[in-house]
Amino acid sequence: MYQIDFSHPSSLYFVGIGGISMSGLAQILADAGFRVSGSDRTKSELTGHLEVQGITVFYGHRENNITDDIDCVIFTSAIHPDNPEYIAAHEKHIPCLTRAQLLGQIMRNYKTPIAISGTHGKTTTTSMASEILMAADMDPTLSIGGILKSIGSCVRVGGPDIFLTEACEYTNSFLSFFPKIGIILNIEEDHLDFFKDLADIRSSFHQFALLLPKDGYLILNGQIPHLEEITKGVDCQILTFGLEAFCDYHPSSISFDEMGHPRFMLNSPQASLREFSLQVPGVHNLYNAMAAIALADVLSIPTQTTAQALHKFGGTSRRFEYKGSIGGITIVDDYAHHPTEVAATLKTAAGIPHREVWCVFQPHTYSRTKVFLKEFAQALSLADRVVLADIYAARETDTLGISSQDLARELQALGTSCAYFPSFDEIENFLLANCQSGDLLITMGAGDVLKIGENLLGK
């Protein structure tokens, strides 16, 4: 494998540079003195930000973008072998790295690399931990899967000690990492276009846990079923969190305000009862917060600093993000694209004052929709009214014979009010005609469904 020499910055080219993770890595390396360029399909806010920083971005993937002076080409998992830049790089015998391999090499340059993994909650937990680390003046370098509002970016370039990143299991990418501290938030079925089944996914997380060195830490959800299978053979210190008393970190005296924000007392191994309060709603965020608190304890951050940072944290982009109000209708956007995430978001919404909860859902990928069709229907049935957009294909093509109309039929069979429209314009017109003052409208999905709420607010 090609090894990047950080003492002698070279020329790096990113195929898919506009992705949230790729753009962040490009910024980190450009700041380190590397000559960075890349390409993406279309211009976006992220690519525009890169260009402002002097990074050359080509729009459209073309073989002549790959020039002889490039030392290494970086690809995302979404780039296929028929991509013209992929072909050109291999024909020119230019060394190539995956995004995960590059991220792993970056991690090795820091004293304390931290990787946050799990099927759900990675971006929120990474963001919570980021706020704590910055509040503690630890000058971290950050790579986040969403925009952290306090820094207005998905990346922060800091000192040489701490590197904090999300660690995604898709295509086993996190197995290319070199963490000293690892967090596993949860393990569920997902990405079944790559993994064979849940056992295959659990095996991947077990291998991730085994990456941790003897002087490292593994912080994980103690309520993961058959936890011993994940921790078997792990050499480092292990800390667990969860709602149950057998977990090292567990809460008591949990309460929620009228907006669903939790307040709780926390039991932990080396500290007396401590009180924390959050400004992000839902039980799922209590889990995320406990993981971040355990990390802060491992890094010897004072409780007061941790508590203040968590209370100040107002969420990240596309995680139950308040977008605005129109005609007394509150519009929220959420990235949920797995049945467990959908259910968690809608349960959170149920605890917030409203007349009716509307969920505009855009399924993400054909494979996920087909595998979880009934589970999606059950989760979405927690809303009062559901409106479905077409499936967002992402990296896939429509070869599985599945559509949003199949999901609509499942919802209607459950007795849930559901409508489907093939265009955003039709969805927007339907919502304008039917939503009423006092309703809570959630646009939901990992695609571009957020545009619907933004368009409504602009009308």
Long-range contacts from 417-424, C-beta under 8 angstroms, 24+ separation: 417/384, 417/385, 417/386, 418/380, 418/385, 418/386, 418/387, 418/388, 419/386, 419/387, 419/388, 420/387, 420/388, 421/387, 421/388, 421/389, 422/390, 424/389, 424/451, 424/452, 424/455
pLDDT band at 21 (very low <50, low <70, confident <90, very high): confident
Which two three-digit tokens encode residue 161? 């000690």
DSSP 8-class letter at 150: T
Which two three-digit tokens encode residue 228? 């011993």
Is pLDDT at 28 greater than 60 in this prediction? Answer: yes
Is pLDDT at 419 greater than 80 in this prediction? Answer: yes
Is residue 303 exposed (0-12), middle (13-18) or buried (19+ Cβ within 10 Å)? middle
Is pLDDT at 77 greater than 80 in this prediction? Answer: no
Rounded distance, CA 8 to CA 76, Å? 24
pLDDT attached to residue 152: 85
* Cβ atoms of 149 and 128 closer than 8 Å: no
Rounded distance, CA 307 to CA 319, Å? 21
pLDDT attached to residue 108: 92
pLDDT attached to residue 19: 87
**Cα dihedral across residues 117, 122, 128, 131: positive or negative:** positive
Residue 42's φ and ψ, nearest 5 degrees, are -140, 160
pLDDT attached to residue 459: 56
β-pairing, 329-334 vs 11-15, is unpaired
Average pLDDT, the chain: 93
Of 55-59, 149-153, 410-414, the least confident: 149-153
Rounded distance, CA 445 to CA 422, Å? 16
Which two three-digit tokens encode residue 81? 């072998």
Residues designated catalytic: 122-123, 166
pLDDT attached to residue 23: 92
* Cβ atoms of 143 and 165 closer than 8 Å: yes
DSSP code string of 416-430: -EEEE-SSHHHHHHH
What confidence tens digit (pLDDT) does each residue in 262-317 have? 999 999 997 789 999 999 988 999 999 999 999 999 999 999 999 999 999 988 77
Rounded distance, CA 50 to CA 38, Å? 10
Taking CA atoms, 233 is separated from 27, 207, 224, 440, in Å, by: 37, 10, 17, 48
